[in-house]
Amino acid sequence: MTFAVARKIHATGRWPRLATGRVVLGYDERFLRRKRLVMASGEGFLVDLAETTNLLAGDAFELTDGRLVEIAAADEAVLVIKGDLVRLAWHIGNRHTPCQIEPDRLVIRADHVLADMLRGLGATVTEGQAPFTPEGGAYGMGRTMGHAH
C-alpha cells in the first residue's frame, strides 16, 4: 500500500488548484513537522516537513501524488472576553497566553485560573466552543513562545 506524504504547504489563497481533502486540526496540532494525520474522509497521510511549521486554517498540504488537503481549525474550548479590551489584553499578554484579538472581543483557550483573573478585572467571560486562531508572534515566527523559546 502506498502512503501519501505531504512535504509542501501552500498558504491560504495561494493554492494552485482545488483541494480534494480536508483535515481538521486544533491550535496545538497546527504546529508540526512530522506526523501522521487523517483526513475527514478517513484516509491517512504523513506530514514530513523540513522544519516545524505553524499551519494556519486555510493553508493546504500538497501530497506527493499532487492532491491538496485543506487545513481547517477544529472547535476548541475557549473563553470569549469582553470589557476594557486594551487593559485585558495587556494582562493576558503579560502571562504569555496566546490570544485571538477581534474588534469587540478577545478569545483565549479555556483556563479557569485566567477566567477568574479576568472576571476580577471586570471582564465578562463566556465559555464556548470555536476554532482558535490567535495572533501570531511579533517576529514572524507564527507563534508566541514566551521568553524560554
Q: Are strands 44-54 and 100-102 parallel, antiparallel or unpaired?
A: unpaired
Measured between its terminal Cα atoms, the distance across the chain in Å is: 40
Q: What is the pLDDT of residue 142?
A: 57
**Fold annotation for 5-73:** HSP40/DNAj peptide-binding domain (2.60.260)
- For domain 76-131, the CATH superfamily is UreE, C-terminal domain (3.30.70.790)
Q: What is the pLDDT of residue 135?
A: 87
User: Per-residue pLDDT tens for 98-145?
Assistant: 999 999 999 999 999 999 999 999 999 999 999 999 987 665 555 554
Average pLDDT over residues 18-22: 96
Could you tell me which residues are beta bridge partners of residue 76? Answer: 130
Asked whether 27 and 77 are in contact (CB, 8 A), the reply is no
Q: What is the pLDDT of residue 141?
A: 54
Q: Does 26 score more than 70 pLDDT?
A: yes
Q: Find where cell 484579538 sits.
A: 101
Single-letter code of the amino acid located at 118: L
Q: What is the pLDDT of residue 138?
A: 62
Residue 40 — pLDDT band, cuts 50, 70, 90? very high
> Which regions of the chain carry the CATH code 3.30.70.790?
76-131
The pTM of this model reads 0.83
> Which regions of the chain carry the CATH code 2.60.260.20?
5-73
User: Per-residue pLDDT tens for 51-83?
Assistant: 999 999 999 999 999 999 999 999 999 999 999
Alpha helices in the chain (DSSP H): 85-94, 112-120
Single-letter code of the amino acid located at 88: L
